Chains A and B, each alone.
Chain A
Amino acid sequence: MPDLLEIRSLAKHFGGVVATDEVSLEVRAGEVHALIGPNGAGKTTLVAQISGSLAPDAGSIIFDGRDVTRLAQHQRVRAGLARSYQITSIFRRSSVIENLALAVQARSGSSLGFWQPVASESGLVDEARLIAAEIGLSDRADIAGGELAHGEQRALEMGLALATRPRLLLLDEPMAGMGPEESQRIIGLIERVRRSVSVVLVEHDMDAVFRLADRISVLVNGRVIATGVPDEIRANEEVRRAYLGDEALSA
């Protein structure tokens, strides 16, 4: 499989603190690539640099053969690189459909329309309804984002990223704050979208990681200490010491 995303010697410092230390990794087209590591290992910082909200100090990010290191976040989204957030970041006062229609609008033509009501563009709403069905929120379509239950908000969080029709989806702890059933729902959703989209998955829920991931990279103190298929990671002594503890055995 060809590499969809290639990160070369990425580095980022905050003052004297090294957040990303010469990180190199490849995400192949079609794979779910999990990124695990202790709290403070630099996972979210890495996601921010890949998505473009944070500029690296050095190194490069190649997406689909194109160097996107200098591109702004919105340009990367248009190139097919979308992210979701660990802390739910939705439009809380807008309905589910309005949330999704806005994301559809972002990738369909110019938004410098000052006169025609957006409500008359049935294409946006139709597409939004499709995505609402995809994430299982069809029957909640007209509820404001802020009034959804936590699990539903997390689904919408992912839906907003999906609505940009990405080729690579960066998911930052999609299972955060979820009960077992809600986690199952998100796992099911990821299993469906992975057929058409490659995924970088940051997650602490090891059941989900070992079930979903084709390959796993382990980030410790801003460095990748191991990359491999789940069995290799499970068996890796260094990974167990730094992160997994005994959990890998029971998983």
Chain B
Amino acid sequence: MNARAAALIAALAAAVAFPLAMQAADQLFFVGFASRVLIWAIAASSLNLVLGYGGMISFGHAAFVGTGAYVSGILIAGGVTSAWIGWPAAILASAVLALAIGAASLRTRGAYFIMITLAFAQMMYYLMNSMKAYGGDEGLSLTSRAALGFGLDLGNEVTFYYVVLAALCALLYATHRLAHARFGRVIAAIRENETRAEAIGFPVYRYKLICFVIAGAAGGLAGALLASHGKYVSPSLLHWTQSGTLMIMVILGGVGRLWGGALGAVLLLALEHLIAEHPIPWLLAIAPNYPQHANLGVGIVMLVIVLYAPQGLAGLVSRKRHA
């Protein structure tokens, strides 16, 4: 067995054992926290599909996460609690939105593409803000999580955690297959040399659009999971700073690397949690408010990573292995 497979199995074993250990130690809070981290890992991995694999710097990914959350949340609020309806609906809605946004934005490139995806996402943000029937800027509180059936109660933190973990694993495996399949090769070729990809006969625009839609759909799934996790959706999920946070996760973890989005989400959220919940006494003495400014710490880590590990955490790991 090679080192890569061993590391994979160890990571998976740790992820599976984690909630059981927390349950035994009566620390269920951490199971809920870990679920949230894994959902953001899904969201960041979906952005990595378009940003890293596709080379499209989309600055509006929160729109797809947020749309998925709202569709799933509105269905639950309306009494349609089945996850088998709500989650596919969320995925579909985000995919349709990605199709519309992508079809318009992918005609542009460079800074224009960044700005137009940002603009579309902000439009969605203001749209949700104005939807008074669904809480407007106050957001929408849900009475329950989605229901999965089969005797699985998503209200149980441990069960919910395993469902999210399964979804993340499924997404990463699908991404791995996709990257090595025909479609992945075309996307990689377009990222590297778009002009030549067109000149050997690939309809570049169509492939980029399909990649954009797949990423949007996966973002919708993350949104649906988020809605159930917190039993709450609000427009802030669609705010441009969320898109920025997702981008930071991908950059920290590794742009265009399979584990990039997941590692980045874990690092960023763990860091935020540590800074906010575990203040360092001597630092507190100098700067009493610093735990409320977790972003400062995140910024420093980001700086270090960009300077010393430009391929992100995932790149650092694979470089160590090759060395």
Decide if B193 is an interface residue (CB 8 Å cutoff). yes
* Given A102-B200, A112-B210, A118-B185, also A91-B178 (CB < 8 A): no
Q: Smallest CB–CB gap between B200 and chain A, Å?
A: 4
Decide if B177 is an interface residue (CB 8 Å cutoff). yes
Q: Give the residues in chain A near B182, CB-CB below 8 Å.
A: 105, 110-114, 116, 118, 121
Contact B199 A89 (CB under 8 A): yes
* Given A91-B193, A102-B189, A112-B210, also A53-B181 (CB < 8 A): no
Decide if A240 is an interface residue (CB 8 Å cutoff). no
Contact of A90 among B177, B183, B196 (CB under 8 A): B196
* Given A91-B192, A92-B192, A112-B210, also A82-B199 (CB < 8 A): yes
Decide if B186 is an interface residue (CB 8 Å cutoff). yes
Decide if A164 is an interface residue (CB 8 Å cutoff). yes
Chain B positions 182-232 with a Cβ under 8 Å from a chain A Cβ:
182-186, 189, 192-193, 195-196, 198-204, 207, 210
Binary contact readout A98-116 vs B (1 if CB under 8 angstroms, 0 otherwise)? 0000110111001111111
Binary contact readout A77-90 vs B (1 if CB under 8 angstroms, 0 otherwise)? 11000110100011
**Complex: how many Å from CA A163 to CA B181?**
20
Q: Give the residues in chain A near B200, CB-CB below 8 Å.
A: 77, 82, 102-103, 106, 160-161, 163-164
Decide if A133 is an interface residue (CB 8 Å cutoff). no
Q: Give the residues in chain A near B319, CB-CB below 8 Å.
A: none
Q: Give the residues in chain A near B185, CB-CB below 8 Å.
A: 102, 105, 111, 118
Contact of A114 among B178, B198, B203 (CB under 8 A): B178
Contact of B189 among A74, A91, A107, A114 (CB under 8 A): A91
| CB nearest neighbor in A for B193 | A91
Contact B196 A160 (CB under 8 A): yes
Decide if B180 is an interface residue (CB 8 Å cutoff). yes
Contact A94 B181 (CB under 8 A): no
Decide if A69 is an interface residue (CB 8 Å cutoff). no
Q: Give the residues in chain B near A118, CB-CB below 8 Å.
A: 180-182, 184-185
Decide if A198 is an interface residue (CB 8 Å cutoff). no
Contact A114 B201 (CB under 8 A): no
Q: Give the residues in chain A near B178, CB-CB below 8 Å.
A: 114-115
Chain A positions 134-185 with a Cβ under 8 Å from a chain B Cβ:
160-161, 163-164
| CB nearest neighbor in B for A88 | B196
Decide if A51 is an interface residue (CB 8 Å cutoff). yes
A–B complex contacts, Cβ < 8 Å, 22 sampled = A53-B195, A72-B203, A77-B200, A82-B199, A82-B200, A85-B196, A91-B189, A91-B192, A102-B200, A106-B201, A110-B182, A111-B202, A111-B207, A112-B210, A114-B174, A114-B184, A115-B181, A118-B182, A119-B180, A160-B200, A161-B200, A164-B201
Question: What 6 A-B pairs are tightest by C-beta distance, nearest first?
Answer: A113-B182, A77-B201, A106-B201, A103-B200, A111-B182, A117-B180
Interface residues of B (CB under 8 A from A): 174, 177-178, 180-186, 189, 192-193, 195-196, 198-204, 207, 210
Interface residues of A (CB under 8 A from B): 51, 53, 72-75, 77-78, 82-83, 85, 89-94, 102-103, 105-107, 110-119, 121, 160-161, 163-164
